[in-house]
Amino acid sequence: MLYTTHYMEEAERLCDRVGIVDLGHLIAEGGSRDLTARLGAAEHIVLSVEGDLDRARRAIDELVVVERSTAEADTIDVLVPSAESALPLVMQAVTTSGSSIRSVVVQEPDLEAVFLHLTGKRFRD
């Protein structure tokens, strides 16, 4: 069965195999996990932090498992290869820095990220 959609979340949920078409050309094909794995895409750990944000971010950046981090308002976005293994270390670094964590969200790469990487544009562009 062939199913077409513009909604990446829908494709991930419903399809075993996905083909990404850009300007009429098939540019990638495979399972959702295979396509995201091809990116070598990292995962994001997004922390809502209370306390000295810069000090917490510097403590996070000292961790070997962290590729990079950014801080804005009361949030630190941490890019890591594997959130599962990095999360305990990141949380410990924040608390050791004297800050406290209000919430944690882990964002894994998805088909939207694959499409953006392969085409250089969001689907709605």
pLDDT per position as a tens digit, 68-95: 899 999 999 998 988 999 999 999 999 9
State the CB neighbour count (10 A cutoff) for residue 44. 16
List of residues 6+ apart from 53 with CB closer than 8 A: 71, 74, 76, 99
* Nearest Cα residue to 49 out of 116, 97, 114: 97
The Cα–Cα gap between 63 and 80 comes to: 10
Please indicate, yes or no, whether the overall pTM of this predicted structure exceeds 0.75: no
Residue 4 scores a pLDDT above 80 = yes
List of residues 6+ apart from 105 with CB closer than 8 A: 45, 46
